[in-house]
Structure 1
Amino acid sequence: MKPDFALDDSLTFNSVLPWSHFNTAGGKGNRDAASSKLLQEKLSHYLDIVEVNIAHQISLRSEAFFHAMTSQHELQDYLKKTSQAVKMLRDKIAQIDKVMCEGPLHILRLALTRNNCVKVYNKLKLMATVHQTQPTVQVLLSTSEFVGALDLIATTQEVLQQELQGIHSFRYVH
């Protein structure tokens, strides 16, 4: 019954189980059988004592064990409810995000796209106008409108330098 009891220690093992009585040979068969029977009863008695002590320890701690099991079930129920609440909260946040954020952001993106399209359209109109200046200059020169032709050429050059700078299709137009 010592706390440092260990059957793997040979001295302890031999003191608990005196096998030396069974190793002797000779005419003591009756005595060996009685000794063996006594040892078996002694071990059965120890086993009964151990079982009683284990049952006693279990009975002492059974209330704590059942309390721990009940607490675990309560915690599982609480975690399940918490998980459901978190899921519901995430769903509501997703709905709020969809209504309050995605819609207005989509409208802002559409407005930005519209503004960009207007800018591109105006730039294309300006490019078409510049593209038509060559035939217009030819018509003005053929009708002897030299001042108008020079004015149109100067305006076109100014537009090319300010508004259409960097557009490669007009880089050779001067």
Structure 2
Amino acid sequence: MSSEREDLVAELLLRARKLSTETVMFHTAIAEQNGLSAVESKVADYLARLGPLTPKELAEYAGLAPASVTALVDRLEGKGIVNRMPHPEDRRKVLVRVNPANVERAAPLWDYIVSATKAVAAGYTDEQLQTVIEFLDQAAAITHESTVRLTHRSAE
């Protein structure tokens, strides 16, 4: 690898770290605005992105023990963030889903970051945006796998 290429990759890693830190701080602020811990907020985000999950599935995604997830879901349900509902195919199971009213209530907290990101994206070609999307997908997969390795839990 050329020195110039190594420098670019090093700069990319530095910028990714900076983005990661700023993202954590943003999500911490969002969690605080909603009266949630960081873990509660991320579990709610999993449910918002993936749809209803069983507590076991939620434990696997979040890297938490099933008993911890039960207590976590109890807290989130008490705060009106999630609801439990019967599993449509197995009466012994329940699904946990985000309360739609909570999503509507939290949406304005995202207004600035969404509009500012759209404004930045307007300066890129479709091909450039596709490259950024592909990179972010790969970076997210690497981050997920790194988390799996650290927590010794099964991958999704």
Shorter-chain TM range is under 0.3
TM-score of the pair, normalised by structure 2: 0.27
The structure with the largest alpha-carbon Rg is 1
Relative contact order higher in (CA < 8 Å, ≥ 6 apart): 2
Looking at secondary structure, tell me which structure has more helix per residue: 1
Please identify which structure carries the higher strand content: 2
